[in-house]
Amino acid sequence: MAEVSNVIDVANLTKRFGEATVVDHISLKVAPGEIVGFLGPNGSGKTTTIRMICGLLTPDEGEGTVLGFDVIRESRRIKAQVGYMTQRFSFYEDLTIEENLFFVARLYDLEPRRQTVAETLESLGLASRRRQLSGTLSGGWKQRLALAACIMHKPRLLLLDEPTAGVDPKARREFWDEIHRLAAGGLTVLVSTHYMDEAERCHRISYISYGRMLATGTVEEVVRKSGLHTFVVRANPSEELMNALLDLGSVSQVAPFGATLHVVGVDAAKMAEELGAYAGKHGLSIEPGLTSLEDVFIHFMSAANGAPKPVRAAR
């Protein structure tokens, strides 16, 4: 099969449910072998977009291709070459790991079936647990089983919808190591996540809010284009101090980090002037800091909600 320039190449995808527009003219391009993080708050339209991309939902408007197939007219051909890992564990809990994989192998009519299942168990480190009931697995092992089932038919595109929710840090790290191994072998990955450290492991990210795409690019590009600037105030992060900093006209966010406060705004010169004056008056130390992806995430959420600034991160 001929290689495509973009595995996902869609424009103006729109989906409505009744009078609600859940996805509003989303455009997205993902290159072969790329890992793209899909970010956004709950209810932003991420899952609906993913379901349109993999052929489970038909867009009301828009066009494009996935794996070279028309996203509207050839959805069945797309489904056959996509692995889709949903938010919730969707396998039979009263079957063993091996039995679940045999079931999936029959769905895809994979042959030789026994060899395919055995190779999948081995490649994902599941062989030693193959006879364990799926319902007794921890979150991390359920995640590994779900991933195994998604890649057993050797898809060209892997769609992951918040795959590590509720999984411990070690299992998350191992999962992402596996995703990068698969991508190095040519698999293309689109993954939705709420974890900023996971987003930073992606080649590029796309941020969606209330159905609209707000930003796309590398983490560094998205942070730079946000126009945000950060200063670090070295002081005990008391409620009184945080509120005082929020009252400064140039400050839009204040968040405590240990024994410091990260203060964020869009006008670096005005922030330096106001913070410098306040710090001098109260004997505080300030210095320039690095704007994080989390700062940008909060900024986008506030803007999309139409919320007035300032925004104070929860302690």
What is the identity of the amino acid at 127? A
Do the domain assignments include residue 2? no
The stretches of 80-168 forming alpha helices (DSSP H) are 97-107, 113-123, 139-151
Q: Give 77: exposed, middle or buried? Use CB within 10 Å, 0-12, 13-18, 19+.
A: middle
Residues 215 and 105 in one domain: yes
Instruction: Give yes or no: residues 194 and 248 share one domain.
Output: no
Residues of the chain with pLDDT under 70: 1-3, 304-315
Q: What is the pLDDT of residue 90?
A: 87
- What is the residue range of 203's domain? 8-222
Measured CA to CA, the distance from residue 171 to residue 177 in angstroms comes to 10
Tokens read off for 105:
């192998």
The pLDDT, as a whole number, for residue 74 is 97
Element (H, E) at 14: strand 8-17
Whole-number pLDDT of residue 241: 95
pLDDT value for 305: 61
CA atoms of 92 and 153, how far apart (whole Å)? 19
In-domain check, residue 192: yes
pLDDT score for 1: 52
Q: How many domains does the chain have?
A: 2
Residues 167 and 216 in one domain: yes
